[in-house]
Structure 1
Amino acid sequence: MHSSIDALYVASSVFLFLDLLFFALHREFLGLDRFNFDLPRFFQLFACRNSSITVFLIYLFPDGNFCPGGSIYPNPKESNLFLSLGHHVDVYFPVCKRSRISAPFVFSEEIFEEKQPASIEVLPDECLFEVFRRLPGGEERSICANVSKRWLMLLSSIGRDEICAKKTDPSFEMEEKFLPNKAHESSECNKKGGIVGSNGNKVEVEAEDEEIEGDGYLSRCLEGKKATDVRLAAIAVGTGHRGGLGKLSIRGSNSTRGVTNIGLKAIARCCPSLRVLSLWNVSSVGDEGLVEIANRCHMIEKLDLCQCPAISDKALLAIAKNCPNLTSITVDSCSNIGNGSLQAVGSYCGSLRNVSIKNCPLVGDQGIAGLLSSASYLLTKLKLHALNISDVSLAVIGHYGKAVTDLVLSGLQNVSEKGFWVMGNGLGLQKLRSFTIISCQGVTDIGLEAVGKGCPNLKQFYLNKCAFLSDNGLVSFAKAAVSLESLQLEECHRVTQSGFFGALLNCSGKLKALALANCLGFNDLVLGCPLIARCTSLQSLSIRNCPGFGNGSLAMLGRLCPQLQHVNLNGLHGITDEGVLSLIENCETGLLKVNLSNCVNLTDKVVSVFARLHGVTLEQLNLDGCKYVTDASLVAIAENCLFLSELDVSKCAITDSGIAALACAEQLNLQILSMSGCSSISDKSLTSLVELGQTLVGLNIQHCNAIKSSTVDLLVERLWRCDILS
């Protein structure tokens, strides 16, 4: 069979050859005089071609333009195998079938063709660096960064001053109008990525829109496993053409491939508009990365370093010298940062306003003194926690803290009574408005009185764990602090009712908020007090977890403070209905927020009086843990409380009937309802809860064991606008 096919092929080829030869010899007769016939060339072509038709066409059109349409295959190497088609040629070519191979095995082409890497991949990093820095814009760089990790890291290693931009690029034209010097006439890219201006001077340019980049509004936060060098490189390359990175926060680090100096360097090179940098618990980042940030990101305004043991004075010194716009610095648990860098920050950062230093063992009096003495006229907020400083530092604060408005001193074990006395008598804290003292054993009656006298504009004062402060010191401070508006005492166990009410009566008449928490020195003693001495300015009263505070003290507060609007009596197990009623019945203005949580002895009587006397003003009511409160309280609330928006009856003795009463209230517009742990609430409350859900945005039904899961699903479906905790 194969022999007959071969014979037929030979015969057809001979016939075609003779026809072509006849056509060539009789071209004049056929009217084709313009074709010159060269018989030797004809035979030469015929011997080299396996297609007679191709020979004929090539001979007639020696320049190869026998079909103006061009080749149907883009590869020029295949042009000798196929005919090109013009737009006027109508030729049909059947699909060529691949010939069968009669062999025991059929091998694929991949076995014989060795895969060659892309030609650009064989280039060394130095060559790719030169290619990438000549990309026209940020989008092109982002696209290239998606190719491979190698390309991404190379792109992130290109500094903004190393990018070559051409004037012909649209993105560069947009940048050009925002540059300070707009005279650019040469598009030649110099070695550092600059443009030569008309005056011959080099003008530095960026590859992105400087106006948008200057805004630096983009914010990125990496936490835990997501904090890696690769992600930082992607952020560095990708944020440039979208406005520039303005805030970067790194919290924690990947345990195996976490953030190192390489990632921070990528941010430094690509994000010159960075303004806020936070590094928390990043042990693998050291001076090298932060120094690169300092050298390239001169717009840094806020720096937050927490648990970065590898960062030392060297990095902070570079920040101080290169970032003059620094306004806020926080250094927490950085064991290698000491006095030298703090002195440099005070000297070089003329805009510094906020300083927080915590648990840095190398920071002492010298660093604090150098910082305060240099930045005394602008520094407004100062926080010192768990430092090895002495009375000298407090004396410096009292003398140089002329602009300080907020001061926090915490865990200063080496500071004595003398330090607070000198600080108060230094007369430098004239602008101090808020003062917080925590766990400082040097706070005594004498020192606190001096602070009150030396801070005439002090409005908020918070004392916590000051064991040596007594009633006399508290009363003396209240007399001296003529502008005091808020006083908070926590775990001051030597303060009793005498000091509490003495401070209340001896304040300047501006005290608006008074709070006690976890003070164990109270005993419910009835003290004689003339009715004429009242504190009419007090609007907020909070007494939490003070077991000795009872009904007698509440009754006295009711007589002394008639203008109360916010009352918090959380955890006062000793009070009953009698004491609370004596307080609320003397409130001349309506109560707005009341918290009676964990007052286990209160009953429906108190709630009913609340609703009747203050229902038109009451906005928030917390009865969590009041186990004697029943449905009667909910009925009173539904009838009288017109503006109540938040109600907490968790672990109260309420049932489905009480919820139904709330749902039937015509003017009640509850937004948050919490009834966690109410075991008597069942599926019967579904209709009532759906009715209340028209205004609810928060519903807590946790530990309501009588409510089935199917009912909860229905609530979630119907109250789709409400956040339901179940």
Structure 2
Amino acid sequence: MRRFDRINAVLPDELILEIFRHVDLKPNRDACSLVCKRWLSLERLSRDTIRIGASASPDNLVKLLSSCFVNIRYVFVDERLSISLPVQYTRRRRVSDPSSSTSRFRRGSEDSVSGDDGLGTSCLSDSGLASVAGSFVKLEKLSLIWCSSVTDVGLRSFAEKCKSLKSLDLQGCYVGDEGLAAVGECCNSLEDLNLRFCEGLTDTGLVKLASGCGRTLKSLGVAACAKITDISLEAVGSHCRSLESLSLDSEIIHNKGFLAVAKGCSLLKVLKLQCVNITDEALQAVGVFCLSLELLALYSFQKFTDRSLYAIGKGCKKLKNLTLSDCYFLSNKGLDSVAVGCPELMHIEVNGCHNIGTDGLKSIGKFCARLSELALLYCQRIETDALSEIGKGCKFLQALHLVDCSGIGDDSICSIARGCKNLRKLHIRRCYEVGNKGIIAVGENCKSLTDLSLRFCDSSGVCIQSLEYWIICSSNLDSATKNVTQIFVQCDLHYNLQDMNVHLCLPPTPSALMWIGDEALISIGQGCSLHHLNVSGCHHIGDAGIIAIARGCPQLSYLDVSVLQNLGDNAMMELGEGCPLLKDLVISHCRQITDVGLNYLVGKCKLLESCHMVYCPGITASGVATMVTSCSRIKKILVEKWKVSARTKRRAGSIINYLCVEL
């Protein structure tokens, strides 16, 4: 039966509202609201979150939104966000009724941009915060990110009206002790509090808050608050017995304050610390008192040793997530203690801990059978045997990140591929011993892989860096020859010093160069269905490898092939045919790609949203214009300024970004 309404005549409002609540993406919800007036009204009733930026007079915007959305529970105000529509577009709109709310909002937008004091009018003020409190009576969560105009007066007024508030984020706000004390006094249901970069706070404010609403507080974040000392943490330890999450970044905090938290907050589950003055004594207390700990992240610790990790491994049996970053005095013994004592570990990240090596990772492979994600960053002492043990013992591994690990090569990746067949994400960057052999093994064994990143995995890059360093240091060359040769090396991998009539004794190079080429991607295309692929800087990959991906990975949505000198239009055409879901494309520094390949791709990939294509000499203003006209969903284009015509700029100036300005 054509033209018969099968929904509005049958479904009640409550059921349509429930359907709207299950529609997550904002564009989809906006589309629903355009069906009819009833759906528009119901969709507004279903909204529980609004986000406000710094443009278009936030105070006026709060008043306008409050009349449209009455069931808002979460207000997010971030002065780093700008208005989504250009001001020129707003000014062109014709409004029939000058007294309407839309007209008033439009005039407010223009005034905020063109007024003498643009900063004052584009920041949420105390008046706007009072409007938030008065308009959204069901408010439970408020985020004020870098709202520089909000003061203690506004925060007190807000706290007095929103006594049922559960979450408050004051990151970067210049509020003081009086405002925070008012929150502690009035908001007795507060559970989450973020005080990152609140430079105006002192111990007075945080102590009053802890004594006021510490009974319900479950999450606390403090960073870069130079006037918050051990006194505040002692108050937190005394009053916040239900605290489950603590994030602390301070150069002022010492053992005394943190010991009070460890002893008083025994329910802690999440602990993130970057405190240079905390030592073994404080962290050992965590292992003794915080037996429910599930996540531990330690950053830039230089005053604690393996004794701390021994205590963690002995007491925190529920630990699932461990991050160790720039902790120079930790060794294999400390990591071994955690591996043996915490068998439920699922996520481990080791970043820049130079004394942790192969033996520590072997313990992880032997005792942490539930490990699902492993990240090794700048770990020069980890060798092939370590990942071999991971491949044998961690059968449930789903994500592996490797950055600048010079000792890890093809044998390591083969061990992971054969043992961890559930691998879904593999990110490798600047691991010059990884080549085709290892990635081919991944393609043959890891059929569930959807995210692959192989960035600058090419040992010829080591030769170039070695040659460049030798040229600069050599005493056999005059300064002019050094400069010319150095520039030539930096600009092109395929150098030939004979063409420059320079006869040099080159530095030694690896006996067997390793690289990732087309063979690796052919195996991946035949064995995996990728959604994300990044092979930037892998110079031996050409059309054949990308064509294999295009034919074997129809679900591909993100592709980065920047700095691939041998990639041309044939690959672009195959991508257009085989990857219709492509949304993000990076082809910068690809010399062989021209307008022909780009035009064919954008004609087929209708979902494309972003494209980076700087330093592509084969792409001209015509190609940029074709992308703008063909891709209706495009949101960002990064290109040289001189390739954008005046007509293209008028049509899509808001989505075009320029790498550099005119010289």
Q: Secondary structure at the match of 1:487?
A: strand
Is the contact made by 1:432 and 1:455 (CA closer than 8 Å) also made in structure 2?
yes
The one-letter amino acid paired with 1:343 is E
Give the one of 525, 549, 574 matched to 1:661.
574
Q: Hey, what's the Cα distance between the residues in 2 that align with 1:259 and 1:725?
A: 36
Is the contact made by 2:79 and 2:123 (CA closer than 8 Å) also made in structure 1?
no
2:193 is matched with 303
Once the 2 structures are TM-superposed, how far is the Cα of residue 225 of structure 1 from its aligned partner?
3.9
Q: Hey, what's the Cα distance between the residues in 1 that align with 2:128 and 2:420?
A: 60
Q: Secondary structure at the match of 2:622?
A: helix
Q: Secondary structure at the match of 1:334?
A: coil
Once the 2 structures are TM-superposed, how far is the Cα of residue 723 of structure 1 from its aligned partner?
3.2
Summarize the alignment of residues 176-575 of structure 1 with structure 2, pairs less than 5 Å apart.
Answer: 217-222=74-79, 225-226=119-120, 231-237=125-131, 239-243=133-137, 246-252=140-146, 258-268=149-159, 271-282=162-173, 285-323=175-213, 324-349=215-240, 351-359=242-250, 361=252, 363-376=253-266, 378-386=267-275, 388-401=277-290, 429=291, 431-441=292-302, 444-445=305-306, 447-500=308-361, 502-503=362-363, 505-522=365-382, 535-575=394-434
Pair 1:692-2:604 in alignment: yes
What are the Cα deviations for residues 223-272 of structure 1, in whole angstroms up to 9, with x where unaligned? 69459998212431464144366555444466xxx544344444345554
Cα 1:222–1:555 change in 2 (3 A) is closer
Over the residues paired in the alignment, what is the CA RMSD in angstroms? 3.8
TM-score for both structures, normalised by structure 2:
0.63
Q: Hey, what's the Cα distance between the residues in 2 that align with 1:531 and 1:355?
A: 31
Q: Secondary structure at the match of 2:426?
A: strand
Cα 1:522–1:269 change in 2 (3 A) is closer
Is the contact made by 1:445 and 1:473 (CA closer than 8 Å) also made in structure 2?
yes
Cα 1:697–1:441 change in 2 (3 A) is same
Q: Secondary structure at the match of 1:437?
A: strand
The one-letter amino acid paired with 1:592 is T
Once the 2 structures are TM-superposed, how far is the Cα of residue 678 of structure 1 from its aligned partner?
1.4
Pair 1:713-2:625 in alignment: yes
1:683 is matched with 595
Q: Hey, what's the Cα distance between the residues in 1 that align with 2:442 and 2:177?
A: 61
Q: Hey, what's the Cα distance between the residues in 2 that align with 1:313 and 1:573?
A: 50
Cα 1:669–1:544 change in 2 (3 A) is same
Cα 1:445–1:253 change in 2 (3 A) is closer
Q: Secondary structure at the match of 2:590?
A: coil
The one-letter amino acid paired with 1:610 is I
Q: Hey, what's the Cα distance between the residues in 2 that align with 1:504 and 1:634?
A: 36
Is the contact made by 1:273 and 1:297 (CA closer than 8 Å) also made in structure 2?
yes
2:518 is matched with 604
Is the contact made by 1:229 and 1:263 (CA closer than 8 Å) also made in structure 2?
no
What are the Cα deviations for residues 369-404 of structure 1, in whole angstroms up to 9, with x where unaligned? 44444443x443333431644444334433332xxx
Q: Secondary structure at the match of 2:434?
A: coil
Q: Secondary structure at the match of 1:357?
A: strand
Q: Hey, what's the Cα distance between the residues in 2 that align with 1:439 and 1:698?
A: 36
Cα 1:692–1:399 change in 2 (3 A) is same
Once the 2 structures are TM-superposed, how far is the Cα of residue 518 of structure 1 from its aligned partner?
0.8
What are the Cα deviations for residues 662-709 of structure 1, in whole angstroms up to 9, with x where unaligned? 2334x7643433322212222212541233323434433333332222
Pair 1:578-2:437 in alignment: yes
Once the 2 structures are TM-superposed, how far is the Cα of residue 472 of structure 1 from its aligned partner?
4.7
Once the 2 structures are TM-superposed, how far is the Cα of residue 461 of structure 1 from its aligned partner?
2.0
The one-letter amino acid paired with 2:517 is T
What are the Cα deviations for residues 613-639 of structure 1, in whole angstroms up to 9, with x where unaligned? x14x33332211112211122332233
Q: Hey, what's the Cα distance between the residues in 2 that align with 1:263 and 1:294?
A: 15
What are the Cα deviations for residues 66-98 of structure 1, in whole angstroms up to 9, with x where unaligned? xxxxxxxxxxxxxxxxxxxxxxxxxxxxxxxxx
2:634 is matched with 722
Is the contact made by 1:312 and 1:336 (CA closer than 8 Å) also made in structure 2?
yes
Cα 1:703–1:655 change in 2 (3 A) is same
Q: Hey, what's the Cα distance between the residues in 2 that align with 1:531 and 1:275?
A: 42
Is the contact made by 1:461 and 1:487 (CA closer than 8 Å) also made in structure 2?
yes
Cα 1:579–1:347 change in 2 (3 A) is closer
The one-letter amino acid paired with 1:714 is T
Q: Secondary structure at the match of 2:125?
A: helix
Cα 1:453–1:532 change in 2 (3 A) is same
- Larger proportion of helix: 2
Is the contact made by 1:484 and 1:507 (CA closer than 8 Å) also made in structure 2?
no
Aligned residues: 477
Once the 2 structures are TM-superposed, how far is the Cα of residue 442 of structure 1 from its aligned partner?
5.2
Is the contact made by 2:280 and 2:304 (CA closer than 8 Å) also made in structure 1?
no
Cα 1:221–1:448 change in 2 (3 A) is closer
Most deviating of 337-346 and 714-723: 337-346
What are the Cα deviations for residues 393-420 of structure 1, in whole angstroms up to 9, with x where unaligned? 334433332xxxxxxxxxxxxxxxxxxx
Once the 2 structures are TM-superposed, how far is the Cα of residue 599 of structure 1 from its aligned partner?
1.5
Once the 2 structures are TM-superposed, how far is the Cα of residue 476 of structure 1 from its aligned partner?
4.9
The one-letter amino acid paired with 1:578 is K
Q: Hey, what's the Cα distance between the residues in 2 that align with 1:384 and 1:640?
A: 44
Q: Hey, what's the Cα distance between the residues in 1 that align with 2:305 and 2:235?
A: 34
Is the contact made by 1:565 and 1:593 (CA closer than 8 Å) also made in structure 2?
yes
2:104 is matched with none
What are the Cα deviations for residues 568-590 of structure 1, in whole angstroms up to 9, with x where unaligned? 22221233323433x32662644
Higher RCO (CA-CA < 8 Å; seq separation 6+): 2
Q: Hey, what's the Cα distance between the residues in 2 that align with 1:576 and 1:551?
A: 6
Is the contact made by 2:273 and 2:299 (CA closer than 8 Å) also made in structure 1?
no
Is the contact made by 2:287 and 2:312 (CA closer than 8 Å) also made in structure 1?
no
User: Radius of gyration: which is bigger?
Assistant: 1
Q: Hey, what's the Cα distance between the residues in 2 that align with 1:705 and 1:622?
A: 22
Once the 2 structures are TM-superposed, how far is the Cα of residue 607 of structure 1 from its aligned partner?
1.4
The percent identity for this pair of structures is 30
Q: Hey, what's the Cα distance between the residues in 1 that align with 2:123 and 2:553?
A: 57
Cα 1:243–1:627 change in 2 (3 A) is same
Is the contact made by 1:218 and 1:243 (CA closer than 8 Å) also made in structure 2?
no
The one-letter amino acid paired with 1:289 is G
